[in-house]
Amino acid sequence: MDDPEFDLGTYYPIFAYLILLIGFAVTTMIIAHTVGPRHDTKTKQVPYESGMDPVGDARQRFDIKFYLVAIMFLVFDVELLFLYPWAVVAYADGGFPAVLQRPVFCCVLAFIALLFLAFLYDWKKGVFKWR
């Protein structure tokens, strides 16, 4: 802790804000629990599912397209999680060293090509066509 660049005093406002935030959340929850109205009726005890009344068996079969759409969402969501930080670093001043710019760019192009193949696979499977 003898490092002159590390000063815990600069973090005190953050710690104070964190304590204030947690205190506010806990106080709000306690007040809502003690003061709030309680009207437990049979209707309020029914599980709520996206605005629809729970009718029928919950273990019904889903069309495979829902799973394909979910996988497609994950593929393209991961793409954004990878490409955005790369773009920020790649085009910032003092980003990648000159030696690494071309190999990193080729890796990103390979990544985009794989995502394009995933897109073509989804297209071939008919994910984008709904009945």
CA–chain centroid gap for 87, Å, is: 19
Q: Could you give the CA distance from residue 66 to residue 74 in angstroms, rounded to a whole number? A: 12
Structure tokens at 9: 């005093």
Instruction: For residue 61, give the H/E element and its range.
Output: none
- The pTM of this model reads 0.46
**Residue ranges per structural domain of the chain:** 64-125
Per-residue pLDDT of the chain (131 residues; tens, 9 = 90+): 556 677 778 889 999 999 999 999 999 999 999 998 888 787 777 776 666 666 777 677 777 777 777 877 887 888 888 888 888 887 777 777 878 888 888 988 998 898 888 888 878 877 777 76
